Chains A and B, each alone.
Chain A
């Protein structure tokens, strides 16, 4: 069978199967197991409502546990064992080895820098674009253009930015636009941007901000449009200026979405390694945890330390986790 037809059949079966599952399991629940009739009608409705969420959740939870939770458990196990000793339990030896490595601390501190800068800048730019393009005629076009980097793979993006940051020897024609601009404005010698310690981190971050702004923009502009017109109109009648409307009326209403966008980008930052891998491979003090982990797993084939690095990455997300749980609790009240 041709894969495309196979694909089509799968879509039909997959989608049909999912819809069928949800539809029939609900019928079974309502009509067969706990029918809302007879003497126990009230009790049955309550019972059905206790079970129903799990029906809705089951496929997702099954997939999540299998595809993501199970590897996490496996990783935890690997991080506490040494495969060179036939997988013997070594306690925290991998962790202490990792903590003794200079590169790890470099990666950790760079990661904090990334976490500070990238989600903030992407969200701010995304919000700015979403708000500014909201009422102008060519807004849709502007949005599409800003969204474009999202459609480029990370590796493609790295290529684009390598071209931007390229440096040629002094006197030669520059092919990197950043150096061309720098020289045009009176810079003396071409700079090799990616090898400037500390600042090169920001040049790498620019790539991710460039990509993620499109993401933030799409989600936030949907949220902004969801803000009821009446509240804005009321504010205009009250004589509020555009800035007040934005900060006092709109922002509070889209705050949860801002949190979601922030969270998602933060997590992307923790996981992203393609950019660093393709542009500097963590050299010149640009190492980040995800690339450090990759290096340990596939270059040094040190699964213990690689897994330990992964656990650290996952640990770093816990403050965000707590924040989101609190948010979710608040919404439920």
Chain B
């Protein structure tokens, strides 16, 4: 007991702000999220530290049908103390119905100060409650980087290709690969009930590379309509990659139905089915068994246009902790998650990026993850995955289905108009 108190005190000294190891013996804190094995083991080991410090018991439950269950539990009044939301849109929705409890005062200031691009992380988790009052409801923990292109360095070497630095180079590389008789991209939109989402990332990334961040923000909040020519142009930009039979493995017709989890495997096939795969930082989990990131596979930043002068925009996403059933312990646990140690445990386990500036980057499990985190921290423009911010009916509904229709050959303008009208109907 003494030891744990001491560790607590030591940690309190390390952490900026004031984490005091409260005595929460006997209190049980329940946490609900989407993480399953192996992530659930990691989050539980983080909670173990908290348990040791405070004497509280933390119970974590993960579910694959989070979005449905959180609504049922919140409505019925049996939600866990803390819920870990996979996207802010759903949390905002629950906040507007009064199911979330604002985080302790001072959290916003702390996040703004200690996270890279801190204010944007605060803004992303600030929602209106049922009376329209704005509060900070969530703290981001674990971030995904989306603007990455994965490739096999040895295949590039065999063919004599260079990693493209600009979008112009990338497009030239596309044509060169085709001219050499290869296929540049592996691309799959299939994801069961969520089919279509990989395309939304493409459109968002391309929008950030063709328009200013203001346009992106306006689009996400629907001040700029979905069928605005600038947005339609970004969709068509995606089409230039995905709808070209020569550019995608299996031809454009296979894009919509290929599972996104299967699609990167073409990089490693013999002979290779493709040379590049644009996907977020989590995708190595779906590489063939034994693939080593940094050796067999590597990534480069999905480049921006040299002649557009929009800097190097980065697209990301993240999960946020929010309190769905208030208790003293719940607030304490959220506060504990500010601790760099909490982030470092997962950094060591791998597959974890964080905007926390206070973490020891030598703890990253690999150089490539350190490099990814570097991209995240050094982004001139960081934008959060737009589809996660849009209302569920659009961001997890008509945007997905619309992109599937587009990949199936529907006209971009028509698709965009359809998505906009579904947004309008949400009132």
Contact = CB atoms under 8 A, between A and B. Distances in A.
A293 to B, nearest CB: 12
Interface in B394-427: 396-397, 400-401, 404-405, 408, 425-427
Nearest to B253: A192
Given A283-B404, A284-B408, A299 B254 contact: no
Contacts of A101: 425
Interface stretch (B111-119, B188-196, B302-310, B355-363): B188-196
Contacts of A30: none
A195 B391 contact: no
Contact of A172 (B193, B256, B273): B273
Interface residues of A, number: 27
A300 B68 contact: no
Nearest to B191: A281
A298 B404 contact: no
Contact of B192 (A195, A278, A299, A300): A278
A84 B408 contact: no
B34 to A, nearest CB: 14
Interface string A275-297: 00111111110000000000101
Q: Which of B93, B254, B400, B405 has the most CB of A within 10 A?
A: B254
B251 A169 contact: yes
A299 B67 contact: yes
Contacts of B350: none
A299 B422 CA distance: 13
Contacts of B249: 169
Contacts of A277: 192-193
B257 A281 contact: no
Contact of B392 (A195, A283, A300): A300
A281 B250 contact: no
Contacts of B192: 277-279, 281
A167 B257 CA distance: 8
Interface string A192-206: 101100000000000
Contacts of B194: 281
Contacts of A172: 250, 269, 273
Contact of B254 (A192, A278, A279): A192
Given A295-B397, A301-B93, A168 B408 contact: no
Contacts of B273: 169, 172
A327 interface: no
Contacts of A281: 192-195, 401
A301 B68 CA distance: 10
A302 interface: yes
Interface in A175-218: 192, 194-195
A300 B67 CA distance: 11
Nearest to B183: A169
A194 B190 CA distance: 11
28 contacts: A101-B425, A167-B257, A168-B250, A169-B254, A169-B273, A170-B250, A170-B251, A172-B269, A172-B273, A192-B254, A195-B253, A277-B193, A278-B192, A278-B193, A281-B194, A282-B401, A283-B404, A284-B408, A297-B71, A298-B67, A299-B392, A299-B396, A300-B391, A300-B392, A300-B393, A300-B397, A301-B71, A302-B426
